């Protein structure tokens, strides 16, 4: 399968190169040139498959030519066998026709494990094939960093450097990163904020000379195609478990960068009967403004009780726009250019097309806490603040009460104690495999907000001092 850029000015690549590349050289994002699609008969025949086998069927077309079938199958088996629940992505019922798809049974208790556990293995396979080694560098305000570290801790060909703002991530989140003691894992606490960390990462990607031409930097943020791809599977898994593809159903997705929900859109395009996709955002509502008012404009960041959705622009939305604009890269390049200069109004007819399946809702902190409390009273089930936003949005803008409505449960509530306590709930217990997290040994280096110092620290770790 070939992959093309949303801005139309970069050469098409195969899966292996897309995996190692990140952004396209024209600034666009890679998408499949032609999406695979499955018939209802084929989808129906997968009804009894366990998660890893289903993943194999759904993902095989995307990696054709990159990896042998048997090897891919084993890789998927190992990836999902490490999850803390036998069903991998179990479904919980909240009410009649209302469900939560629990995506937090991976090692770091958030849905990002579904993609990053697989990404680490795919990257290692690609590097092994090429006889190369790579460096992952990323900035995190919490979830992505720990999931990337867990995903790569056993990768022989990868050194990973994760920058987090010193003393500005929660203790659980910090410990999930710093207690991973493998030699290839390097945590850097930067004396600055998240934006400072992100800026250093961006600058390092632009000028990689500190790696002496011997290593390449690989991005593991959600622009990486392989992450989106891995997330398609659980839409199929959930639908098949609730009577699909015979029954149509709706999904509500707590959204920041539009990665997770874009995977749902792809599942729909690939043949899964989905009747509605709800974009659930917190106060950082750029996506809600686009979908409801056709206004595409960045606004200053608000800090909320759902920090993993605190974003200014949603980079993956460009992938949807590419389809809405009939895959015309030139139009997208123009739009993104205008967007950088200020607000953009999108073509009304194209947005109407998007609204056939997408709805949106923006939820503030107070409503988030109320939802956590209400759902607990209704069913004794404790939501994390991100999932609570999804549940509230689902209840607000649902179109078909006669169909199942599934909210993606993106994180375990134990990761977001502040919101849980503000909602008046008791702080939940750490799951079994993390019981000793608060007493494990930590390893982390505190560095000033200075790109040269950070890069020379990295070079020392990779090549040895001197």
Ligand X SMILES: *Cc1c(COP(=O)(O)O)cnc(C)c1O
What is the per-residue DSSP string for 311-353? -SS-TTHHHHHHHHTTT-HHHHHHHHHHHHHS-EE--HHHHHH
Stretch that binds ligand X, among 181-189, 252-260, 356-364, 419-427 (CB under 6 A): 252-260
User: Do residues 267 and 415 touch, judged by C-beta distance below 8 A?
Assistant: no
The 117-146 site mask, x for binding ligand X (CB under 6 A), equals: --------------------------x---
392 forms part of the interface with ligand X (CB under 6 A) = no
255 forms part of the interface with ligand X (CB under 6 A) = yes
259 forms part of the interface with ligand X (CB under 6 A) = yes
| Shortest distance in whole angstroms from residue 45 CB to ligand X | 30
Q: Which is nearer to ligand X, 187 or 281 (CB)?
A: 281
Distances (CA, A) of 106 to 146, 358, 412: 11, 28, 10
Among 28, 138, 192, 254, interactor with ligand X by CB under 6 A? 254
Total binding residues toward ligand X, as defined by CB under 6 A: 16
Among 101, 110, 169, 434, interactor with ligand X by CB under 6 A? 110
Distances (CA, A) of 61 to 2, 117, 127, 263: 11, 20, 21, 15
Establish whether 60 is a catalytic residue. no
| Shortest distance in whole angstroms from residue 256 CB to ligand X | 4
Q: CA quadruple 6, 12, 17, 21: dihedral positive or negative?
A: negative
| Shortest distance in whole angstroms from residue 243 CB to ligand X | 26
282 forms part of the interface with ligand X (CB under 6 A) = no
Q: Which of 438, 315, 431 is nearest to 384 (CA)?
A: 431
Catalytic: which of 2, 60, 112, 422? 112
Joined tokens for residue 329 = 């890269």
284 forms part of the interface with ligand X (CB under 6 A) = no
Contacts of 409 (CB under 8 A, 6+ apart): 92, 100, 101, 102, 103, 104, 111, 383, 384, 387, 390
164 forms part of the interface with ligand X (CB under 6 A) = no
User: Do residues 167 and 190 touch, judged by C-beta distance below 8 A?
Assistant: no
100 forms part of the interface with ligand X (CB under 6 A) = no
Q: Which is nearer to ligand X, 244 or 259 (CB)?
A: 259
Q: Which is nearer to ligand X, 110 or 239 (CB)?
A: 110
Stretch that binds ligand X, among 41-49, 159-167, 172-180, 258-266 (CB under 6 A): 258-266
| Strand pairing class (216-218; 249-254) | unpaired
222 forms part of the interface with ligand X (CB under 6 A) = yes
Q: Is the peptide bond before 61 cis (omega within 30 degrees of 0)?
A: no
Q: Which is nearer to ligand X, 110 or 230 (CB)?
A: 110
What is the per-residue DSSP string for 164-182? EETT-S-HHHHHHHHT---
98 forms part of the interface with ligand X (CB under 6 A) = no
Q: Which residues bind ligand X (CB under 6 A)?
A: 110, 112, 143, 222, 254-260, 308-309, 386, 410-411
Enumerate the active-site residues: 112
């Amino acid at each position: 399968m070939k992959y093309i850029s949303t801005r139309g000015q970069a050469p098409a690549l195969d899966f292996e190169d897309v995996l190692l590349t990140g952004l396209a050289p024209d600034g666009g994002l890679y998408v499949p040139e032609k999406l695979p699609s499955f018939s209802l008969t084929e989808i129906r025949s997968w009804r009894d498959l366990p998660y890893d086998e289903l993943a194999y069927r759904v993902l095989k077309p995307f990696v054709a030519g990159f990896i042998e079938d048997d090897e891919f199958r084993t890789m998927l088996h190992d990836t999902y066998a490490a999850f803390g629940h036998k069903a991998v992505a179990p479904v919980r019922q909240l009410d009649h026709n209302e469900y939560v798809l629990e995506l937090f049974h991976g090692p770091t208790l958030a849905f990002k494990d579904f993609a990053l556990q697989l990404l680490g293995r795919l990257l290692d396979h690609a590097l092994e094939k090429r006889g190369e080694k790579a460096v992952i560098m990323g900035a995190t305000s919490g979830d992505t960093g720990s999931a990337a570290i867990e995903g790569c801790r056993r990768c022989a060909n990868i050194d990973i450097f994760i920058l987090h703002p010193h003393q500005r991530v929660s203790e659980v989140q910090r410990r999930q990163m710093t207690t991973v003691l493998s030699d290839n894992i390097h945590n850097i606490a930067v004396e600055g904020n998240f934006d400072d960390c992100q800026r250093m990462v961006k600058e390092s990607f632009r000028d990689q000379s500190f790696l002496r031409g011997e290593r390449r930097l690989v991005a593991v943020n959600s622009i990486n195609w392989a992450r989106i791809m891995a997330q398609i599977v659980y839409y199929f898994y959930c639908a098949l478990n609730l009577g699909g593809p015979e029954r149509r159903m709706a999904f509500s997705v707590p959204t920041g960068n539009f990665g997770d929900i874009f995977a749902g859109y792809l599942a729909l395009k690939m043949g899964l009967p989905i009747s509605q996709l709800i974009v659930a955002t917190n106060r950082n509502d750029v996506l809600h403004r686009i979908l409801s008012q056709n206004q595409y404009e960045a606004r200053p960041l608000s800090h909320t009780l759902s920090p993993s959705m605190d974003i200014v622009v949603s980079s993956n939305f460009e992938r949807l726009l590419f389809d809405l604009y009939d895959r015309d890269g030139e139009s997208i390049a123009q739009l993104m250019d205008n967007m950088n200069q200020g607000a953009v109004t999108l073509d009304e007819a194209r947005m109407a097309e998007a609204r056939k399946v997408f709805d949106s809702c923006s939820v503030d902190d107070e409503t988030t806490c109320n939802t956590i409390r209400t759902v607990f009273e209704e069913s004794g089930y404790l939501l994390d603040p991100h999932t609570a936003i999804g549940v509230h949005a689902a209840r607000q803008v649902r179109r078909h009460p006669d169909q199942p409505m599934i909210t993606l449960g993106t994180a375990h509530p134990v990761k977001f104690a502040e919101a849980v306590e503000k909602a008046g709930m008791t702080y939940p217990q750490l799951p079994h495999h993390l019981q000793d997290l608060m007493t494990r040994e930590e390893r982390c280096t505190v560095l000033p907000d200075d790109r040269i110092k950070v890069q020379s620290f990295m070079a020392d770790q990779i090549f040895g001092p001197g």
